[in-house]
Structure 1
Amino acid sequence: MGGPATDGSAGAVVLRGGTVLVMDADRTVLEGADVLIEGDRITGVGPSLEAPEGAREIDASGGIVMPGMIDTHRHMWQTAMRGYGADWTLTQYFVWYYLEHGKAFRPEDVYAGNLLSALESIDAGVTTTVDWSHGLQTTDHAEAAVDALEAVPGRFVLAYGNIQQGPWEWATDPAFRDFVARRIDGGGLYGFQMAFDVTGDPEFPERAAFEVARELDVAVTTHAGVWGATNDDGIRLMHEHGFMGPKNIYVHAATLTADSYNRIAATGGNVSVSTESEQSAGQGYPPTWVLRNHDIPVSLSMDTSVWWSGDLFSAMRTTLGADRCREHLEAHAKAETITNCHLRADQVVEWATLGGARALGVDDELGSLEVGKLADVVLIKNDRSPVMFPIINPYGHVAFQAQRGDVHTVIVGGRVVKQDHELVDADLRRARELVGQTVDHLRTSMGEEAWLAGMHPEVPETTLLDNPYTYTEYKSASTHGR
């Protein structure tokens, strides 16, 4: 994989005297410890480390030092519409983006959304983000998406998709292959995936896209187990045709049966859980409670800021809440009481860091603060906040107490990209201007009445609610006619 551009002149950096969450196999916590970075790698973790002469020193005392967080599923292109769909259901999201106004996004609008989202990621301590970019109607849109990601010093994985065209069409288009050759192979992104959904059509038209992914040797990320849209038939078809393996990432996976979870577990797949999304939009109950029972690896993601927050603090918090709520409800239904929580704070912190690295197949490089790994490091410290002391249970503090405003320093590949709560060399004014232009374009193209109505949309009676995909006539039986 590639990585963020660095000028190679950053030299050594040492974070001094923090509470260090190593995120190794033993979930080691070091009190009053240092993290030494030389070049783009971690070269020391422990107390009172000797740093090279001239090293940049960052006071981490009173703070928590942890690996950079990893978001495995974010529709970055939609960030220019932050909060617009706060009261949407998943159906209204489908109608707006898939059937009606998603087609209005120009390449420059994808650029604006991606730029803002990329800045938002590193500001929140998310050093690696998967851009689940299913708004790439043309390769010009894809060019714009990559341009934006390469303009921000984080790690970004482009997951290429197009909700306006069948994956068997765009994946086999020579323009797509040309784009991959020009912008992905040897480019500045950290990684590349193909992003498409499997409807369950028994003809399995998605086979062609899977074959392209196999030829390119790239991972497939797919919205699976989404109520009314993708469910067990899609998983079964993938498995029967030999397209399930360790590189697959199943997003949501909230409405599957034990048979599908067994297939995912047996083939080594990973699930990206977007708890804020699942518990609000309607994909199904956030599935960590059942994934734990099947021993399926989990990573966390925020989905889209059209609704929700763009940080993984919220993801950790809501995931703990949803999992524990389900566990209590299941027990109460049997007249029992839960006396010990099975999902712990350290587990969700791992899902937000090392879990994401495992999902991307880069846990040998990222996800923990161990000597030799890439130096993606986050310092959570806020001396102006009464919430940042005392730090008694550091995992619990990260999961329940801290928030994005407490992110003091962010380092990506040895490069300090945020310090003293401020992004370094970030042109927020330009990002604001570009996003403003996108909002103006959408309001103008839709008309003011439709723009305002879109925040509380009515679903057209002609809409087929069990098939949001405009590129196929296939209708799932999962909701139709029930």
Structure 2
Amino acid sequence: MRTSEVVREPMVLREGLVLTMNRAHDVLASTDVLVRNGRIEAIGPRLEVPEGTREIDARGGIIMPGMIDTHRHMWQTAMRGYGADWTLTQYFVWYYLTWGKRFRPEDIWAGNFLSALEALDAGVTTTVDWSHGLQTVEHAEAAADALEEAPGRFVLAYGNIQQGPWEWTTDHAFRAFVERRFGGGGTELLGFQLAFDVTGDPAFPERAAFEVARDLDVPVTTHAGVWGATNDDGIRLMHEHGFMTPRTIYVHAATLSPDSYHRISATGGWASVSTESEQSAGQGYPPTWQLRRYGIGVSLSMDTSVWWSADLFSAMRATLGADRAREHLEAHARNETVTNHHLRAEHVVEWATIGGARALGLDHLIGSIEIGKRADLVVLKNDHSPAMTPILHPYGHVAFQAQRADVHTVIVDGVLVKDDHRLVGDHLARARRGVDETVAYLMQELGDEAWLEGMHPAIPELSVLENPYTYTEWRSESARWRDRGGPDTSEQNADGGTPKPPSA
């Protein structure tokens, strides 16, 4: 969405229930929100507005900040649902070791563009494109093109799973791309991060990539606390070398020790929790209970549409369920009963909005409904849905009752991008054409047999389990344990239990 091509007409959202998500979490009944020149100009009842202002009826609905997804592999959206029955290992095998290498720049564009529209349709106005399919600068150009053409707010988190981060970040072509597309820090609509993982290799080869991030003055987002891939050794190395900062985002953070959580908390880092992914794929149990214990800021994310959708309503619902389930089970094990929930609906709505903005360092611009902030707004309203009435507990309604079909209006930076339940413009037709071409190409590349096997994978050999990062020979301790026969549950400990890894 190039700003030179955008006309920002003044708009007023009339008589909605406003979830401000400001510091006080004010909830304002029957309130108007006036938008002019891309910003929130006024908030209050029965606002007087300039002549020619578009009026949007929000009566019977909720006005909330646009939601923010801090970790999504948008390039994979062309393969929507393909990996529904995958484990994380099978995901690694398909994308890291085999077919992910076949994606062309135009396939990256198609996945990103469709993913962007999917997010906006679900009320997600800002998405971090954790773009680790950028094998060449041409792939990166395609990713950035798609994000600029889509009518939303995005952050390109540049990554390359086929090469060590110490290699691609120091390549002159990468630096030229960054200077060309993001010189001066990017724009308010398209930001930039570096996306790479730290394996825990004592040699710490990732140091070179962190130094590039420091030189460019851009944040790093990293998959941390992922069972069998990235754990405490990586956190310790980052901390000892001074590369943990308040702008660092730790994705999943599900299998870390207290020492690692202390380090993240002490350095002001943020977590991006993908509850549906962690529950289903196997990164580890969703860690919100740990993050709350150590005072680590939380944001929410959806990971990839190869499994799940871009629907943060699902993320909020799943996160509440996972956190509460653990609390109940721990209490039951002590022969106790939970009488009050610690994690409330209000908390996950915060994480899906202003929490994401704070994680990205954008809370001065977006994430709450306050005068002067950029107008990234969502109206939840569906007069045809029995589930949208009555609205008694607004946070509970957003977290447990609402869904993408109830997203009536979406505004990004003062521009109307969804109106009366339909995306504005003809973007979707173009996205479909691009994705159709990508799917046809991939089906031809794989062949019929491999295409079907990919959706219904057999259990892989142990040799592909221990290290998805093919650019390094380093293997984590849990991977080496697995290689010694850990997965064989017939091997028992002396106490009759299954063996445990030396460290987790």
Relative to the length of structure 2, the TM-score reads: 0.94
Instruction: Tell me the equivalent position of 1:110.
Output: 108
Give CA deviations for 1:76-108 in whole Å, capped at 9, x if unaligned.
000000000000000000000001110010000
Matches within 5 A, 1:72-471: 72-185=70-183, 189-461=189-461, 463-471=463-471
Quick one: which amino acid aligns to residue 357 of structure 2? A
Which residue in the other structure is 1:472 paired with?
472
Residue 469 of structure 2 aligns to a residue in which SS? coil
1:4-62 deviation line (CA, Å, top 9, x unaligned): 62656423110000000000111111110011111111011111111111111000000
Cα drift, residue 457 of structure 1: 1.2
TM-superposed CA distance for 1:427, in Å, is 2.5
Q: Could you tell me whether the CA contact under 8 Å between 2:467 and 2:479 is conserved in 1?
A: no
- Counterparts of 2:5 and 2:370 in 1: how far apart (Å)? 23
Note if contact 2:2-2:149 (Cα within 8 Å) is conserved in structure 1. Answer: no
Whole-angstrom CA distance in 2 between matches of 1:129 and 1:309: 13
Unpaired segments of 5 or more residues in structure 1? Answer: none
Where in structure 1 do 4 or more consecutive aligned residues deviate above 3 Å? 6-9, 186-189
Of the structure 1 ranges 423-432 and 383-392, higher mean CA displacement relative to structure 2 is found in 423-432
CA distance in 1, matches of 2:181, 2:6: 23
1:8, 1:39 within 8 Å by CA — same for their partners in 2?
Answer: no
- Cα deviations by residue, 1:427-468 (Å, 9 ceiling, x for unpaired): 322211110111111111111100000011124426341211
Looking at structure 2, the residues matched to 239 and 51 of structure 1 have their Cα atoms a distance apart, in angstroms, of 52
- Structure 2 stretches of 5 or more lacking a match? 482-500
- Aligned-residue offset at 1:190: 2.2
- AA in 1 matched with 2:344: R
* d(CA) in 2 for partners of 1:242, 1:359: 19
Q: After superposition, what is the alpha-carbon deviation per residue over 1:141-190, rounded to whole angstroms, capped at 9, x for unaligned?
A: 00000111111110010000000000000000000000001112255552
Amino acid at match of 1:12: P
What is the DSSP-based 3-state SS (H/G/I as helix, E as strand, rest coil) of the residue aligned with 2:8? coil
SS at match of 2:478: coil
**Cα pair 1:5 1:153 within 8 Å, conserved:** no
Q: What is the SS of the residue equivalent to 1:115?
A: helix
Alignment partner, residue 489 of structure 2: none
Letter in 2 for 1:106: R
- Structure 1 residues 261 and 299, CA, compared in 2 at 3 Å: closer, same or farther? same
What letter corresponds to residue 39 of structure 2 in structure 1? R
Q: CA deviation at 1:355?
A: 0.3
8 Å contact kept, 2:147–2:190: no
Q: Which amino acid in structure 1 is aligned with residue 467 of structure 2?
A: N
| 1:19 aligned residue | 17
Aligned residue identity for 1:22: T
The answer as to whether partners of 2:93 and 2:464 remain within 8 angstroms in 1 is no
Residue 463 of structure 2 aligns to a residue in which SS? coil
Task: Tell me the residue number matched to 2:496.
Answer: none
Q: For residues 68 and 429 of structure 1, what CA distance do their matches in structure 2 show? A: 24
Letter in 1 for 2:93: V
**TM-score normalised over the length of structure 1:** 0.98
User: Are the aligned partners of 1:274 and 1:300 in contact in 2 as well (CA < 8 Å)?
Assistant: yes
Q: What CA deviation, in whole Å up to 9, does each residue of 1:233-261 have, x standing for no partner?
A: 00000000000010100000000010000
Question: Is the deviation greater in 399-408 or in 42-51?
Answer: 42-51
What is the match of residue 35 of structure 1? 33
Q: Secondary structure at the match of 1:441?
A: helix
* CA distance in structure 1 between the partners assigned to 2:438 and 2:448 by the alignment: 14
Query: How many residues were matched structurally?
Result: 480
Deviates more, 1:464-473 or 1:318-327: 464-473
SS of the equivalent of 2:211 reads helix
Instruction: Determine the C-alpha separation between the residues in 2 that align with 1:268 and 1:10.
Output: 36
